[in-house]
Structure 1
Amino acid sequence: MSFPSSKEITRILGAELDKLVTLPSIWLTLTGTFILNLLLAAAFTSVGLQGAAGTQSILNIGLASMRYLQAGFIILGILATCSEYTGGQIRTTLTTIPWRGVQLSTKHFALAIITIPAAFIMAASGVLYTFTMMRDTAVVIEIDTMIKILLGATGYLTCTTLLSAAIGALFRRTTPALVVLLGYYFVVSPLTRDFPTIRNYFPDTAGYYMYMPPSTDEINVLTPMQGAGISMLWTLIFITVAIVLFRKRDA
Structure 2
Amino acid sequence: MTTRSTPSTGRIALVTGANRGIGHATALRLAEHGTDVVITYRSHADEAAETVEAATALGRTARALQLDTGRVADFGAFADALRGALKDGWDRDTFDFLVNNAGTALYAPFAETSAEDFDRLLDVHFRGVFFLTQTLLPLLADGGRVVNVSTGLTRFSNPGSSAYAAMKGAVEVLTRYLAVELGPRGIRANTVAPGPVATDFGGGRLRGDEAMRSALAAHTALGRVGESGDIAGVVATLLAEDTGWLNGQRVEASGGILL
- State TM-score, norm by structure 2: 0.31
Bigger relative contact order (CA 8 A; separation at least 6):
1
Q: Higher helix share goes to which structure?
A: 1
What is the TM-score of this pair, normalised by structure 1? 0.32
Larger Rg: 1
Of Structure 1 and Structure 2, the greater strand share is in 2
